[in-house]
Amino acid sequence: MLSKPDKPDGTRERKYVLTRRLDRLFLELHRVFAFNIRFFKELVVPPFEFKEFIKQCFEAGVKSLPLISLTGFIIGIVFTNQSRPSLAEFGATSWLPALISIAIVRALAPLVTALIAAGRVGSSIGAELGSMRVTEQIDAMEVSATNPFNFLVVTRVLATTLMIPTLAMYTTLIALLGGYVNVSQMEQTSFATYFSQVFGAITFLDVFSAIIKSFVFGFTIGMVGCYKGYHSSKGTEGVGKAANSSVVTAMFLIFIEELIALQIINAIRAT
């Protein structure tokens, strides 16, 4: 005759599993917090790896220009085509340049730039540092009296923090040019008229908030990529997981930050 399962033991096992998961969660949060605190400490401690910083700016910024250019131009054209029918129903196609500028400056350019950078730059940082960790190159740097955190992490986080806002402003310009190509072709709007309406529709708060959001997005991409790669383990499998986790985590945090920023900016506009 089969005996009934022991309910107390089953409950105890579930509690044990839940406790272990909570322990891992709090341990991970502690490591993330300590990693961020260490970054800000190392940021003001010499030596400053200026050459490595310039190299990472080139990697994160200049090498992203072709993809950013193509994406931004397509965004401008697609958004214009999608918005025209709705405005045409109300006979308000003349508002199209203003609508394009508001949508691109406030949301599309910073967000799309950050997502592209998370996929390209964040995964690259995670894979590079993860590979260095599993091949013990980081340990070798520590033995040779080189500060690997300053050389590898600080330079990359600073580079992404500064380059993402620059790329976002560039994306804004390219997307507006894409919108102009479409508007000029369909409505025969002149260049001067188009951009006078574009700049007349945006405010200082729109530009300022877009830049600040881009700085936050850039810091998030660099910090997540460096953290995942710096703490990578389990050989080549860990390198792949570090790269994948860098992209997924960074994108998730970017959407959360975008939501929070939107609430703050709307509250400022309401005052």
Each residue's pLDDT tens digit, 1-40: 445 555 555 676 776 667 777 777 788 788 888 888 988 8
111 found inside a domain: yes
pLDDT at residue 255 tops 80: yes
Mean pLDDT of 73-90: 86
2 found inside a domain: no
Measured from the Cβ of residue 223, the count of other Cβ atoms closer than 10 Å reads 23
Q: Tell me the pLDDT band of 258, cut-offs 50, 70 and 90.
A: very high
Measure the CA–CA gap between 123 and 151, rounded to whole angstroms. 18
pLDDT of residue 16: 66
74: amino acid identity, one letter: I
In 3D space, the residue among 237, 218, 246 whose CA is nearest the CA of residue 57 turns out to be: 218
**Structural domain count, the chain:** 1
Measure the CA–CA gap between 237 and 233, rounded to whole angstroms. 8
Mean pLDDT of 179-196: 86
Residue pair 229/133 in contact by the 8 Å Cβ criterion = yes
Which residues constitute the domain of residue 193? 51-265
pLDDT at residue 45 tops 50: yes
pLDDT in tens, 191-242: 888 889 888 888 898 899 999 999 999 999 999 999 888 888 767 777 888 8
74 found inside a domain: yes
158 found inside a domain: yes
SS3 content of the chain, % helix, strand, coil (to 5): 90, 0, 10
pLDDT of residue 1: 44
Residue pair 126/230 in contact by the 8 Å Cβ criterion = no
11 found inside a domain: no
83 found inside a domain: yes
State the average pLDDT for the chain: 86
Q: Is 12 or 124 the better-scoring residue by pLDDT?
A: 124
Q: Give residues with Cβ within 8 angstroms of 46, minimum separation 6.
A: none
